[in-house]
Amino acid sequence: MTRSLVMAPRWAGSPDTDFYPWLTAMLRTPPVLFDDVRTLDMPTPGAPTLDGWVSTLASAVGPAPAPSTVFLGHSVGCQAIMRYLSALPPGHTVEGALFVAGWFEVDTPWDTLRPWLDTPMDFERIRAALRRCVVVLSDSDPFTSDWRRNTRLFEERLGAEVRVVPGGRHFNNPQEPAVLEALRERFS
């Protein structure tokens, strides 16, 4: 069975920004964890919409992805993945998800972000769809300064294992070793 890693980028991100190209290259060198690694090119990355991003995920991996699928979301990409997972058929599971700089609340929301914050999610269904959920947060994220509350929300809502990276900001660097480490440690 093919083991896939599917990445959903951050707000205004694309397959060639941030740590995505580096991570893809690192995951193609031994030890190889995934047979297929891809970062999705999401529609209107500067103004993501719920329907646009969730439907892009559904088009990319289908209405019921292989059980060996691992998702990696970055910021709003985490939101898109969670909403996609909540729509999976009852009883369907995937190997897991790694959420990087994920959030349920933002310090200063802007208008186009409101739908992501105000539209409810089925946390029970998301939790049931994931055999493993790992979250990498920072204690210095400029968008979600209350990392303790963010940690608690991921633990309570999704039963996630949360790792806090000191000084990680929003994980927008060309290389993010903490992300690679989390994948290698928790999804080997």
Closest to 104 measured CA to CA, from 140, 72, 150: 150
What share of the chain has pLDDT > 70, as a percent?
Answer: 99
Q: For residue 44, which phi and psi values (nearest 5 degrees)?
A: 40, 65
**Span 3-17, mean pLDDT?**
97
Does residue 10 register a pLDDT over 90? yes
What share of the chain has pLDDT > 90, as a percent?
Answer: 97
Does residue 31 register a pLDDT over 90? no
**Span 155-167, mean pLDDT?**
98
Q: What is the pLDDT of residue 2?
A: 87
